[in-house]
Amino acid sequence: MSLQMLWGLMAAHPAKLINVLALVLTCPGSFLLHGARRREARALAGRPVGEAVLDVTTVRINRFYYALGFAFLAMALLLSWVSTWA
């Protein structure tokens, strides 16, 4: 398939292109959220039963992962909503 035909297909359906971009943004966001959950579970697994307090560095990194992951998902949701208007 030629590049011109591929570009014409994308130009004819801009909503699909915007949805593909939203899907591309969703993947890293979900991986960041999953990674934060796994880091937290791994950090809590090494602790004794009565002690559930994490160190400051782990908490800050997990908070950053959560914020960035939810930001990616929010941008993807916003793009998906925008694609319904196109």
**pLDDT tens digits, residue range 12-52?**
777 888 888 889 989 999 999 999 999 888 888 877 766 76
The pTM of the full predicted model, rounded to 2 decimals, is: 0.75
Return the amino acid letter for 73: L
Does a structural domain hold residue 19?
yes
Does a structural domain hold residue 4?
no
Residue 52 CA to its chain's centroid (Å): 27
Number of domains in the chain: 1
Write down the pLDDT at residue 45. Answer: 81
Does a structural domain hold residue 55?
yes
Residue with tokens 């949805």: 19
Domain residues for the domain of 78 are: 14-85
C-alpha 48/C-alpha 69 separation (Å) is: 29
Does a structural domain hold residue 7?
no
pLDDT reading at 57 higher than 60: yes
